Structure 1
Amino acid sequence: MLKRAIFLLLLSCTLHAAHAQDKYEWKEGSSGGYTYRYVTDDPMQARFYTLKNGLTVILSVNKKEPRIQTLIGVRAGSDNDPADHTGLAHYLEHLLFKGTDKFGSLEWAKEKPYLDEIEGLYDKYNHTSGAPARKAVYHQIDSVSGLAAKYAIANEYDKMMSGMGAQGTNAHTWVEETIYEEDIPSNAIDKYLAVQGERFREPVFRLFHTELEAVYEEKNRGLDNDGRKMYEKMLATLFPTHNYGQQSTIGTVEHLKNPNLKAIRDFYNAYYVPNNMAIVMAGDFDPDYVVKRIDEGFAYMQQKPIHEYKAPIEAPIAAPIEKEVFGPDAESVNIAFRMPGALDVHSTVLLNVMAQILNNGKAGLLDLNINKQQKVLNAGVDQLQWKDYTVLVMSGKAKQGQTLEEVKDLLLGQLDILRKGEFDESLVKAIVNNAKLSELQGLESNNNRATAMMDGFIKHRGQNWISDVEMVDAMSKVTKQQIVDYANQYLKNNYVLLYKRKGEDKNIEKVEKPSITPVEVNREAQSPFLQQVAAIPATPVQPQWLDYDKDIQKSKVGPAEMLYVQNKNNSLFRLYYRFDMGSWNNKKLPLAAQYLQYLGTDKYTTEQISKEFYNIACNFNVASTTDVTTITISGLQENFDKAVTLFEHLLTHCEPNEEALAALKGRLQKARADNKLNKVAIMRGLVQYGIYGPHNPYNNQLSQTEVTAITSKELVDMLHALPTYQHTVIYYGPQQLTAAAASVKKLHTIPAAFAATPAPVKFEKSSQANNQVLFADYDMVQAEVNWVRNTTPYSVDNTALVTLFNSYFGGGMGSIVFQTIRESKALAYSTYAFYASPEKKDDRYSVVAYVGSQADKMNEAITGMNELLNDIPRSDKLLETARQSVKQDLQTERITQDGIIFSYLAAQKLGLHTDYRKEVYNSLDKLTFDNVKQFHDQNLAGKPYTYCVLGSEKKISEDDLKKYGEVKKVSLDELFGY
């Protein structure tokens, strides 16, 4: 303890001395009557304010678009949960959306006595034993909750945020943090701060038992997620005494069954105080105005002493600890090391470099020695950086005929190489160059800025921001010997080894469904507070529409059209070759695209090519989808010629490699087998089967016989011939058009005339004449149901109505579907419904709806969704909120950079030649509920649907499925096409 404290003190002094001579220094500024701190040469130009009551405000201005990413963070998460009430911080996060005495209530004076009674009943429920007695108390809770709900206005928070044009309304809880997230228009600052200031003043825990059921559903979803089970087992083993491992964020089943409202209130009072919170904003605003408004809106908050979680020091791991997790998904292996936490700045720098040496996607040890050589299905490295400890995780999946033990040995072998220093020291320089590239790219995003600033607050209250800013420079000073010493110090036989095995998990304990009576949601009701917020003046943001003729410049590169937009912000370029053909034209094309990354040429090995791209901080990618193949080359403009020349050489001179193809085929077989174990992939196949029928884009795959017959020469010839097919050249970068076109023409191999593109296979969407149920069996706690129905051909004239309908009916937390299925009936954690527009003008629309619920609630969930599909409830106020939300989105949306070109190409596929958002915007005010209802009745109500159901045959009876239509059990071979 003492030696470590002395080391940290010396390190702090060393860093402080270095900072005095460095370009990065803390400085103090003053503007608009407020003093703030900032770090010199900070590319985000972040301002750090501490208000009188201790509230931290961190602001970064970015004028790229008229929107602001906002985060309100609390330095409290599952680490801070009481040991006898795990999951409490997460509960509270959900309840912070329920309102206060001023909003979310029709009549607070009449609602409050019922809520007080409910709180007392939950306390009684906690102290009641025996199933019959507990059931009786819960029946009382349910009854009183129904009475209280008559005065509640469900989702009023979401309505206010949607009405002001907010996007991404959400929150999350993790081990050390709870973060509340909003992306708002820049003209909504006053509205936003009025809502948030009230939100945290005195939150009311209303509609608790229905929200509790949503948390139960979230827990059950986690029980169906093998990755989550691996994560929790890893932390529990790494941290036998620290709360990182002993208290899961969502809580134990036992604690979930016994919530305590008084404990939740105590938690709120203890941690939701200004000296433990931060408001972070990144985007288009005046910082002087914003900090003043925050100060005024949150001045009521009073400081309190914070009882920080006193973390125990974990005993060293003396020898590998092996654990197993069982479940239906594909097998994998994790090797996890416990490392120093984020507060150890020196360690963080070394760890960041070391992790990149192991795995950077191009030239790391795992990249070159394992992934590039296809020794496993895939392998990687990840970090979980927290205050007290960081977790370094190496992971891998086995290829065909390989054991997890063999994967483990391969991963550990790379650590031996690292510890021996058997890597090129120039790799450190390349890592720094790529970090600079990532930093430039990250500055373009408000979300990246806000997340980085909030992360600094959570980990070290922003006090180490100078270290965050200078991270890339600090990494550039790291030597090879420091990495070798660091690896030998921390990466020994002191790891946790986790095997994810395929098999039945006999330890799953589902959270049982309580008996809940649907509650009122009072859709039409509005509190006076909502009306006050709506009345706050907001200068309208003028929408900006694209003029493709002006915003895109065009040229020619041989017979290819070149589309150009200049990058006036930084030195990054992106060059694309876009071919209008994909797997529908040639099923082998996606395999050829994958194969290229494993090939060398007559001049370079595949490893040398990867290293060279990484050394010049550039990347290439070849992606082939159903109808488009895109080659992307990107990086720093100063290396444009080198990157394009190297890629062109690879594409036109790649040589067959039989060993690489054999490995690729083996990995493809294993990936296909793993897909059949993955419930997300299975459901995706079910939905495609429902939309298109037995022959669909999802199962349009090479058969095993076809895969076996493919030769290296065949794929290489396909790659060599790719530039001879018609394609569009797209350039976004700092060069002028004439110079860019000349550069591409000089470097890009292209014929005088293009070869004919192979004709595509066509897929026709099904016409549902009768209800049908497609069922796939999967070992899971929940049941997932998708409704699909194909309707009329695309018409551009429907666009405004479809957009408004989706926003109103089922597109978000304030929508009819979410309010009814989750808020009123507590039937699902996740639910939605929307009218899906096609991407091509000759295609048809589709209705898509979804509910994921406990298997024993499936019938209730289906009934609930069917009622909405057949009869759309009317709420004029909710419709107006939806309308304003869509208008605000369009007003503040800015399509920029190469997004302009891809918007143009998407419009072309729909037969459009202008930015049709303008017509949508101008049409919205003319649409009424009658229009929405007529649309619903014509396209959704009383129509046959295909029900795509994924669940366990042990929990879902065929007789239940037959209630909804003729049942077809679809095999995995039918779904996947192999």
Structure 2
Amino acid sequence: MRLRTIFMSIALCTLATLSAKEYSFITVKGDAMQTRIYTLNNGLKVYMSVNKERPRLQANIVVRTGSRNDPAETTGLAHYLEHLMFKGTQRFGTTDYAKEKPYLDEIERRYEQYRTLTDPVLRRTAYHQIDSISQLAAQYNIPNEYDKLMSSIGSEGTNAYTSNDVTCYVENIPSNEIDNWARIQADRFQNMVIRGFHTELEAVYEEKNISMASDGSKEYAALWKLLTPTHPYGTQTTIGEQEHLKNPSIVNIKNYFHRYYVPNNVAIVLAGDFNPDETIAIIDKYFGQWKPSTNLTRPEFPVQPKITAQRDTTVVGQDAENLMMAWRFKGDNDMQSDTLDIVRRMLYNGQAGLIDVNLLQKMKVQDVGIDVDGLHDYSAFIIEASPLHGQTLQQVKKLLLEQVDKLAQGQFSDKLLPAVMANKKLRYFEGLQNNRTRASYMVDAFVNDKRWEDVALQIQRQEKFTKQDIQRFVAQHFGSNNLVCVYKEQGVDSTLKKIEKPIITPIPANREYESALLKSIRLSKTTPIQPVFIDYNKELSLGKKVNGMPLIYKRNPNDGLFVLSFYYDFGTTADKRYRDAADYLDYIGTQNMTVSQLKQAFYNLACQYNVNVSANKISVTLAGLSENMPRALQLLEQVWHKAKADKNSWSSYCDMVAKSRTDQKQSQKANFSALWDYARYGAYNPTRNICSDKQLRATNPQEMVQLITNLTRMPHSVLYYGPLSEQQLINIVQREHKVGKTMLKKPVNKDYQLLKTPQNEVLLAPFKAKNIYLRQFHNEGNQWNVNKRPVEILFNQYFGGGMNSIVFQELRETRGLAYNAGANYVAPDTKGKDEYFYTHIISQNDKMNDCLRVFNDIVNNMPENEAAFDLAKQSLIKSIQSDRTTRYGVITSYLKLKQLGLANDYMQQVYNALPKITLKDVANFARLNIANKTYRYTVLGDEKELDMKALEKIAPVKRLSTEEIFGY
């Protein structure tokens, strides 16, 4: 299918519902999303885009306010309100609001007094009093009842986010639960009650501590400070300042809520499978009586002065050094955004941009990323880059500015702009397969005051751009005199001050209670969605061969996109060189084409190839526009058979690998990932199973190329999803895919083996930070059996799988110990492998003992509550009913099941078994598999700030060095 030109036209339409009420809506002719935009009488906007692929819909509620609107004296207010919106209303989250309210009022009053105190002793006393009254209020609180409501309707991905201009509440619901969802949300947005304040504040403290330790967050804040020095984008962070978080005001939060959480400042965004005519009537039924603000305003700020001289600053932290540079532009709803989007893609697109061709493919810098940060008042064109070993940040900056100047001077191929547009169309239509992507377009339009015709028809405007247009724009706006730079250097950040842990008495979970609203929603009757389980014999063609290789074929009847993959069932555990061999291909050309010519040729065809290597499989995948597949396959075969290595490029590649490994050692997440691999597998694990720097440098690069070339002479399968008929595909692959006449012996995987945990152990690896990463790992060698899967899945849902789980309630909701906590009983991905269990938490160093104590308590004595269990089961059933595996995912799911030794979709077995599983079954599972077991405690943290005696009471502490966990 060719991507067709869309013509602009706006239509105003009306519809008649069953109640005969008419609703007007706006559409744009040619809009690929077929979006309807309604405005109810109270000003509430409703965006709708129908996508029937799955019987679910993304349902977001967007408030047009964020940290930009926070009062300067109480920053972080919008973000904290987002957290409190999950605490309930007068109708849910409480057993008796009338009895609870006096205590809530008293807590509110005392916080207003508390925030005026400066004496530490008086503050501790006042906080202790607040904590005591909170205990009295908590006897009526039903923590997490919002999450229970969402679980009862089968919602997935319950969450929210706050940024500069937006606070957005996110749900993904089954299409038969729209009425229940609207009923809950209307109450939530009109009648929010602030409760559970001090424990949730502690979760925000945790989030702030994580943010302060993030070098990326610090860089971003510093960058916007340079761009907008007297605007909240530059003067305030979304989470807020420490002093403000220490002195919160419930009064200010309520005032903020009543000012901005009004229907004429809110939009409902729906994308997925639903009937718009019926749905708008439902929304009007529940939201139509919401009173609008007659005096809706927001703070306005002086226009930021032009940047006429380069500004820069330095940020210090533990992560590897890098550079962030940016230019400031008008707000995201200005037509400048059209051009900025194209400039970004022309500079960097992963294949043929100027930075790709002139820097990355020639290995002149370590890494580069570009983003257009489009905010309401101002936008920023941001380039972030990492240096090579021995390269200064100033040198990196000079190289990047040279590429920007090339764009201004027109020093680029005439084919680049048309190729950028073709690939943008491709990515746009791929994105529309995902409801979250559709929703993101609509959210962005509402928040940034964009006319929908400007959003829907952006591609058509951009197609009119000429090479000269791009040159002029870049020459005018991308100077060295209006540039800002943040230099991220390595060092100790002496400005970091951890928010100290207050003394909090845990509030009761009150799992035995439920509000009348929850009961009503839980027992409500909806037309069930019938589950669909894959019959692979119907969905796939499995019998034929091409070039002697098994073919797995599925036709794409929806669009002109294809995926063609050559699949091998061995990987780095057979030969650890495969990953480097695949990565090296990105930096070399063929006997006839340079690497840049090769990448540009693929890009011009709106196709791309990828060699993906994992522990036990390799896939060489080609994807893009089907009409160009034959030519793209010809190019891929040139890569496969004619790739040309040379010593200089190999030497540069080895330098980049060495620098990347050094950088990884500075990353907290990378350190914990390496430690976790060591804890599960020991010294032979995915992190350590790599070629050493010495081995790489001693390798003849042509050997690496030959490894990839030899894949064509090894047994593999051909996987295809696209619009071609099976015979058309076979003809093309037989003609273009060159398979060796003599087949080589397939290498054998040496799989990683999960270690057993016969006794308690403590592994500690060092990383200087204000927080720890902590996991408990248990494996007693039980091999997975599909017959156990129904209970396992339900256990995960009940115990550790989300906001309604036992873990979330105990670790975060009732005690405020962590921002991030979970647990999971893990099934293997290969037949004959062990299953295992782990817990996970990120928390402050001084909370480690509390985290361990609570986790051990709930693991050894899993709380049992029938109501919570029934909700977990109901949620899981509804999720299975509305789940669909489609497109290329059918092929990948078939291969995963085959790896487990299964031929059929076992989720049908799970679904059929769920109604009969009882809480007793899950409790027995927990007692047999996780309770009173021995664990390997895995801790990444700063030993000087940890209670080592507490760890030593568990078991002798084995200290691992950074070099040991990484293997280099």
Name the residue aligned to 1:432: 421
Does the residue aligned with 2:46 lie in a helix, a strand or coil?
strand
**Runs of 5+ unmatched residues, structure 1:** 1-20
Does the residue aligned with 2:448 lie in a helix, a strand or coil?
helix
Name the residue aligned to 1:548: 536
Name the residue aligned to 1:8: none
The reply on whether 1:164 has 2:148 as its aligned counterpart is no
1:858 equivalent among 848, 852, 859: 848
Name the residue aligned to 2:485: 497
The worse-fitting range, judged by mean Cα deviation, of 583-592 and 412-421 is 412-421
Name the residue aligned to 2:19: none
The reply on whether 1:154 has 2:128 as its aligned counterpart is no
The structural deviation recorded for 1:354 is 1.1
Name the residue aligned to 1:469: 456
Cα deviation per residue 1:250-281 (whole Å; 9 max; x = unaligned)?
00000000100000000000000011000010
2-structure distance, mates of 1:116, 1:760: 65
The structural deviation recorded for 1:637 is 0.7
Name the residue aligned to 1:535: 523
Cα deviation per residue 1:336-371 (whole Å; 9 max; x = unaligned)?
1111221212x1111111111111111111100011
Counting only pairs closer than 5 Å after superposition, residues 728-743 of structure 1 correspond to structure 2 as 728-743=717-732
Name the residue aligned to 1:237: 226
Residues 191 and 534 in structure 1, CA contact (< 8 A), matched pair in contact too: no
The structural deviation recorded for 1:534 is 2.1
The structural deviation recorded for 1:753 is 5.4
Name the residue aligned to 2:495: 507
The structural deviation recorded for 1:797 is 1.0
Structure 2: which amino acid aligns with 1:629?
Answer: I
The structural deviation recorded for 1:876 is 0.6
Residues 39 and 466 in structure 1, CA contact (< 8 A), matched pair in contact too: yes
1-structure distance, mates of 2:54, 2:301: 42
Name the residue aligned to 2:504: 516
1:34 equivalent among 23, 27, 48: 23
Name the residue aligned to 2:828: 838
The structural deviation recorded for 1:454 is 1.1
2-structure distance, mates of 1:696, 1:37: 56
Cα deviation per residue 1:172-206 (whole Å; 9 max; x = unaligned)?
00000000000000011111111111111210101
Name the residue aligned to 1:11: none
Name the residue aligned to 2:7: 23
RMSD: 1.2
Name the residue aligned to 1:925: 915
The structural deviation recorded for 1:300 is 2.2
Name the residue aligned to 1:592: 581
Counting only pairs closer than 5 Å after superposition, residues 674-823 of structure 1 correspond to structure 2 as 674-752=663-741, 754-791=743-780, 792-823=782-813
2:238 equivalent among 232, 249, 253: 249
2:58 equivalent among 62, 65, 69: 69
2-structure distance, mates of 1:919, 1:822: 34
2:963 equivalent among 954, 973, 976: 973
2-structure distance, mates of 1:886, 1:633: 35
2:386 equivalent among 381, 388, 397: 397
1-structure distance, mates of 2:946, 2:6: 66
1-structure distance, mates of 2:199, 2:6: 56
1-structure distance, mates of 2:664, 2:757: 28
1-structure distance, mates of 2:233, 2:302: 11
Does the residue aligned with 1:30 lie in a helix, a strand or coil?
strand
The structural deviation recorded for 1:22 is 8.6
Does the residue aligned with 2:412 lie in a helix, a strand or coil?
coil
Name the residue aligned to 2:930: 940
The structural deviation recorded for 1:533 is 1.6
Structure 2: which amino acid aligns with 1:472?
Answer: I
Structure 2: which amino acid aligns with 1:358?
Answer: L
The reply on whether 1:955 has 2:935 as its aligned counterpart is no
Name the residue aligned to 2:652: 663
Name the residue aligned to 2:627: 638
Name the residue aligned to 1:55: 44
The reply on whether 1:332 has 2:332 as its aligned counterpart is no
2-structure distance, mates of 1:678, 1:191: 44
Cα deviation per residue 1:213-257 (whole Å; 9 max; x = unaligned)?
000000001112111111111112211011111111000000000
Residues 687 and 788 in structure 1, CA contact (< 8 A), matched pair in contact too: no
Name the residue aligned to 1:881: 871
The structural deviation recorded for 1:413 is 1.6
1-structure distance, mates of 2:462, 2:296: 34
Name the residue aligned to 2:78: 89
2-structure distance, mates of 1:532, 1:380: 50
The structural deviation recorded for 1:825 is 1.1
Residues 370 and 379 in structure 1, CA contact (< 8 A), matched pair in contact too: no
Counting only pairs closer than 5 Å after superposition, residues 102-141 of structure 1 correspond to structure 2 as 102-141=91-130
Cα deviation per residue 1:824-855 (whole Å; 9 max; x = unaligned)?
11111110011011101111111111111111
Does the residue aligned with 2:835 lie in a helix, a strand or coil?
strand
The structural deviation recorded for 1:389 is 1.1
Name the residue aligned to 2:164: 175
1:478 equivalent among 461, 465, 469: 465
The reply on whether 1:653 has 2:637 as its aligned counterpart is no
Residues 408 and 472 in structure 2, CA contact (< 8 A), matched pair in contact too: yes
The structural deviation recorded for 1:324 is 1.0
Residues 226 and 312 in structure 2, CA contact (< 8 A), matched pair in contact too: no
Structure 2: which amino acid aligns with 1:216?
Answer: Y
2-structure distance, mates of 1:573, 1:202: 49
The worse-fitting range, judged by mean Cα deviation, of 288-297 and 697-706 is 697-706
The worse-fitting range, judged by mean Cα deviation, of 528-537 and 253-262 is 528-537
Does the residue aligned with 1:553 lie in a helix, a strand or coil?
coil
Counting only pairs closer than 5 Å after superposition, residues 133-532 of structure 1 correspond to structure 2 as 133-304=122-293, 305-345=295-335, 347-460=336-449, 462=450, 464-492=451-479, 493-532=481-520
Does the residue aligned with 1:897 lie in a helix, a strand or coil?
coil
1:565 equivalent among 532, 551, 554: 554
2-structure distance, mates of 1:658, 1:340: 47
Residues 795 and 841 in structure 1, CA contact (< 8 A), matched pair in contact too: no
The structural deviation recorded for 1:892 is 0.7
Structure 1: which amino acid aligns with 2:468?
Answer: Q
Cα deviation per residue 1:44-93 (whole Å; 9 max; x = unaligned)?
00001000000000111111110000110000000011111100000100
Structure 2: which amino acid aligns with 1:822?
Answer: R
Q: TM-score, normalised by structure 1?
A: 0.97
Residues 559 and 753 in structure 1, CA contact (< 8 A), matched pair in contact too: no
Cα deviation per residue 1:669-708 (whole Å; 9 max; x = unaligned)?
0111111111111111111111112322321111222112
Residues 185 and 888 in structure 1, CA contact (< 8 A), matched pair in contact too: yes
Structure 2: which amino acid aligns with 1:376?
Answer: V
Name the residue aligned to 1:579: 568
2-structure distance, mates of 1:192, 1:909: 39
The structural deviation recorded for 1:751 is 2.8
2-structure distance, mates of 1:476, 1:495: 28
Residues 121 and 141 in structure 1, CA contact (< 8 A), matched pair in contact too: yes
The reply on whether 1:912 has 2:896 as its aligned counterpart is no
The number of residue pairs the alignment matches comes to 955
2-structure distance, mates of 1:754, 1:286: 55
1-structure distance, mates of 2:954, 2:323: 41
The structural deviation recorded for 1:736 is 1.1
Structure 2: which amino acid aligns with 1:97?
Answer: F
Structure 1: which amino acid aligns with 2:870?
Answer: E
